[in-house]
Amino acid sequence: MAEIQALFHGFSVAFTPFNLALMMAGILMGVLIGVLPGLGGANGVAILLPLTFAMANQPGGATSAIILLSCIYWGALFGGAITSILFNIPGEPWSVATTFDGYPMAQQGRAGEALTAAFTSSFVGAFIAVLMITFLAPLVAKFALRFGPREYFAVYLLTFCSFIGMTKSPPSKTLAAMMLGFALAAVGQDSMTGALRMTFDQVVLFKGFDFLIAVIGLFGIGEILITLEEGLAFKGMQGKINMKVVMQTWKQLPKYWKTSIRSSVIGCWMGITPGGATPASFMGYGVAKRMSPNGANFGKGEMEGVVAPETAAHAAGTSALLPMLTLGIPGSPTAAVLLGGLLIWGLQPGPLLFQEKPDFVWGLIASMYLGNIAGLIVVLTTVPLFAAVLRIPFSIVAPVILVICAIGAYTVHNSMFDVWMMLVFGVVGYVFKKLDYPLAPLVLAIVLGDRAEESFRQALLGSGGNLATFFDNALVGSITALALAMLFWGPIKLVFSRLTGR
């Protein structure tokens, strides 16, 4: 039980008035950052990084510095759900899956319930991930080492395959949207040969299409266009607004314990490998839809459809810090910036960090427990406040959303071209919705398309072009087999039910 002892030592490091104040400040800033689309956790942490530089020079200061930054990260994870549920505009890419059921709930006047469910599940996911980090860190770090290019590709394949048939649209439309996403993800540099493709010599296209711009446009602008057409009104403004809703929702949540556990496992795994919070949230949603008895109602405002992605996203976001600390590999863009911070403060992440800097590591882990509890309290008390936003007339809120979206799109790369791209994506989003094409597969393909391609080609380079490499050992073979099973789930189920029917 050396871990318990170390953890309590960590609590003694983290539990000072100064650190607690930093925690609160970090969570508040993080929530604000999470609410604003485009201004992601990575940007927020990067902006504040230089401020912590002076802080880190005092004794124990590195711990305070990372507590501040990681709490911004927790806050952003919490905050991303707010606009997804209220306006169908994901504040962060990992909140896209939350819109599927969160927004329909808000439209039915159940915004308070959806927000409470989202925040609580986030907390549960994070808490399970921290428990795992506390007790299994060395084991898990070793497991992560077994992931080479072919294992990564198998994981991405699994994410994509679990998506087919997940939305209400027919599989052919899902596939078409996904393929368009792959095409967009291919723009920019081909990382295997260094050549530029589909850029038409336009410097603005060199960096490719950022999925943040696509998310803001497709969901944010697209949603506003739709609402404009449907007559300038929010549905669901009649929702109840008081603190009772928190208690009522909590009464219902224990029902979904199976989903929570499944999503936590998916999240922890995706955070470590490192797939990141975005694929974790999609996979969590997809698996829950398949496994849950209420699966057929997903997408129509089912609370379980909010619980699943939020639990997975937060578990992944939290466990992504583990490969960063033990391997120096960031599991998410925000973790990448935090990694830069560690180096500047004179801490070198690596296999020896746990032994050499126990104060820092266990202080950080203790702060994960405290920060998430603080975060939950902060966001839950604000549920009525955020739910009340829906009572403001659309004619006032819409321009504000539009301006925030534009600022968000601009901040991603400080580029005006991105704002135009956002508007183009907005029109695409509108057309997609009118023709009943799903948006999420498009976004997923833009987010993961180039990474999947890269792993696929790295794996084939290593195997000399032999596809059998994806079944080479038990680990990669079972992930690939699982992915293929997911892909052909529909036909398999059909055959199965016919066989058992006769």
Partner 1 sequence: MKRNAIRKLPGVLAALFATGTLTAAAQGWEPTKSVEFVVPAGTGGGADQMARLIQGIVTKHNLMKQPMVVVNKGGGAGAEGFMDMKGSKGDPHKIIITLSNLFTTPLAQGTPFSWKDLTPVKMMALDQFVFWVNSAAPYKTAKEYTDAAKAAGPGKFKMGGTGAKQEDQIITVAVEKITGAKFTYIPYKGGGEVATQLVGKHVDSTVNNPIEAVEQWRAGNLRPLCVFDDKPMIYKTKVTATMAWSDIPTCKSQGMDVDYQMLRGIFMAPGVSKEQTGYYVGVLKKVMDTQEWKDFMEKGAFSQTTMQGDEYTAWVAKEEKRHEGLMAEAGFLAKK
Query: CA 339, CA 321: separation in Å to the nearest integer?
Result: 9
Is 351 near partner 1 (CB under 8 A)?
A: yes
Stretch that binds partner 1, among 199-207, 280-288, 434-442, 468-476 (CB under 8 A): 199-207
Nearest Cα to Cα of residue 118 among 318, 388, 307? 307
**Size, binding site for partner 1 by CB under 8 A:** 65
Is 136 near partner 1 (CB under 8 A)?
A: no
Is 358 near partner 1 (CB under 8 A)?
A: no
Q: Which of 41, 80, 333, 363 binds partner 1 (CB under 8 A)?
A: 333
C-alpha to C-alpha distances, 292 to 6, 180, 271, nearest whole angstrom: 39, 30, 23
Is 475 near partner 1 (CB under 8 A)?
A: no
Stretch that binds partner 1, among 165-173, 187-195, 211-219, 304-312 (CB under 8 A): 187-195
Q: Which of 4, 192, 403, 495 binds partner 1 (CB under 8 A)?
A: 192
Query: CA 380, CA 79: separation in Å to the nearest integer?
Result: 11
Token digits of residue 227: 């609402």
Query: Minimal distance in Å, beta carbon 191 to partner 1?
Result: 6
What residue spans of 382-469 are helical by DSSP H? 383-388, 394-413, 416-434, 440-463
Q: Which of 8, 53, 250, 257 binds partner 1 (CB under 8 A)?
A: 53
Is 189 near partner 1 (CB under 8 A)?
A: yes
Q: Which of 8, 15, 18, 206 binds partner 1 (CB under 8 A)?
A: 206
Contact of 223 with 452, CB cutoff 8 Å = no
CA within 13 Å, CB half, 304: 22
Stretch that binds partner 1, among 23-31, 93-101, 219-227, 311-319 (CB under 8 A): 23-31
Stretch that binds partner 1, among 47-55, 294-302, 310-318, 482-490 (CB under 8 A): 47-55
Is 198 near partner 1 (CB under 8 A)?
A: no
Sketch the per residue contact string, 400 through 429, with partner 1: x for CB under 8 A, - otherwise.
-------------xx---------------
Stretch that binds partner 1, among 158-166, 247-255, 454-462, 486-494 (CB under 8 A): 454-462
Residue 274: cis peptide before it, omega within 30 degrees of 0: yes
Is 170 near partner 1 (CB under 8 A)?
A: no
Q: E strands within 52-122?
A: none
Is 449 near partner 1 (CB under 8 A)?
A: no
Contact of 277 with 316, CB cutoff 8 Å = yes
Produce one character per residue of 309-324: b if its CB has 16 or more CB atoms within 10 Å, e if not.
Answer: bbbbbbbbbbbbbbbb
Token digits of residue 156: 């991405």
Query: CA 22, CA 326: separation in Å to the nearest integer?
Result: 25
Contact of 102 with 81, CB cutoff 8 Å = yes
In this structure, what are the phi and psi dihedrals at residue 188, rounded to the nearest 5 degrees? 115, -145
Nearest Cα to Cα of residue 90 among 341, 321, 285? 285
Query: CA 410, CA 422: separation in Å to the nearest integer?
Result: 9
Is 199 near partner 1 (CB under 8 A)?
A: yes
Nearer to partner 1 (CB atom), residue 359 or residue 454 = 454
Query: CA 276, CA 61: separation in Å to the nearest integer?
Result: 28
Is 327 near partner 1 (CB under 8 A)?
A: yes
Q: Which of 6, 20, 47, 484 binds partner 1 (CB under 8 A)?
A: 47
Contact of 121 with 70, CB cutoff 8 Å = no
Q: Which of 149, 220, 299, 438 binds partner 1 (CB under 8 A)?
A: 149
Which long-range contacts (C-beta less than 8 Å, at least 24 apart) are formed by 53-57? Answer: 53/344, 53/345, 56/344, 56/345, 56/346
Is 46 near partner 1 (CB under 8 A)?
A: yes
Q: Which of 382, 421, 432, 483 binds partner 1 (CB under 8 A)?
A: 382
Query: Minimal distance in Å, beta carbon 348 to partner 1?
Result: 5
Nearer to partner 1 (CB atom), residue 35 or residue 97 = 35
Q: What is the binding site for partner 1 (CB under 8 A)?
A: 25, 28-29, 31-32, 42, 46-51, 53-54, 57, 145-149, 188-196, 199, 203, 206-208, 327-330, 333, 336-337, 339-341, 343-344, 346, 348-353, 378, 381-382, 385-386, 413-414, 454, 458, 461-462, 464
